[in-house]
Copies of this chain bind each other. A is one copy, B any other.
Amino acid sequence: MPTVFNEDEELDLHGQRRVIDFLVDAKADGACVLANYSEQFSLTDEERDQVLRTTLEHAAGRIPVCVTTSHYSARIARQRTLAAQREGAAMAMLMAPFFGTTVRVDEDGVVEYFKRVTDGLAIDLMSQDAPMSPTPLPVGLLARLAAEIPQVRYVKIEMPQTADKLRALAAAAGGALPGLFDGEEAITLIPTWKPARERRGRLGGDPAPDPLREPPMRPPRHQGPDEGRPHHQQRQDQGPLGGLHPDTRAQLLEIAKRKDPLILHWA
């Protein structure tokens, strides 16, 4: 889930509740707050708490919520994880500790960190393997975390060659790690797709979970540009990638309309 900000960069908690409502309507299998896609690194501790409480109160059991609780300090990551459990999170997601490009942790340090964070925890944990972290998480270490820590039952891979890493991890970890998630948005949907019995999933920051919800994709209900759908107000995204050229934007919307995602009606 994105974190919703006002123009002055203060939290828009009303918008935060609307994202939950949208994901429920779009029949997403779950939601994840305070992730890196959520720009969690742009928030104060107090704002993190507000997003956590607002989301879980408003979800009210309609959709399971995962909360990212990463922090360099195991002590603080543990406090965050216990708070997520207390507020009703279904799962916590955790990166190995790092700071910047140079402050990283060795394999035994990563295992010790995950053990301290999860000691006595009742909910499941998803380990997160992301390229922004300089602390490496090779397949052997991810399998070791699952083997030694009962709460670690999910993993989210968002590295180059995610499909290959998920395949190797399924072989190395076996039943200790049933929840294998592709975190590369939808771009690796086909290479990582597997029958549902393996509990594989996709966890990304895309705003259209409904057409992507269950591969193979459902056949589109509408085709072509002329189905008379109302023109919705379009928020100008001036984020870190800069604005889109109007022609590019129009072409992307035409492509998106072929899949009829709920967000084009809902917003």
Contacts and interface: CB of A to CB of B under 8 A. Distances in A.
Number of copies: 2
B73 A134 contact: no
B102 A100 contact: no
A100 B99 CA distance: 6
A161 interface: no
A45 interface: yes
A226 interface: no
B45 A44 contact: yes
Contact of A72 (B41, B45, B73, B130): B41
Interface of A: 9, 36, 41-46, 72-73, 75-76, 79, 98-103, 130-134
Contacts of A44: 45, 76, 79
A134 B102 CA distance: 9
Contact of A98 (B9, B100, B103, B130): B100
Nearest to A109: B240
A103 B72 CA distance: 17
Contacts of A75: 9, 42
A103 B132 contact: yes
A75 B103 CA distance: 25
6 contacts: A41-B103, A42-B75, A42-B76, A44-B76, A100-B101, A100-B133
Contacts of A99: 36, 41, 132
A72 B73 CA distance: 18
Given A98-B100, A100-B132, 13 more contacts: A9-B75, A41-B72, A41-B73, A41-B99, A43-B73, A45-B45, A99-B132, A100-B133, A101-B101, A101-B131, A101-B132, A102-B132, A103-B132
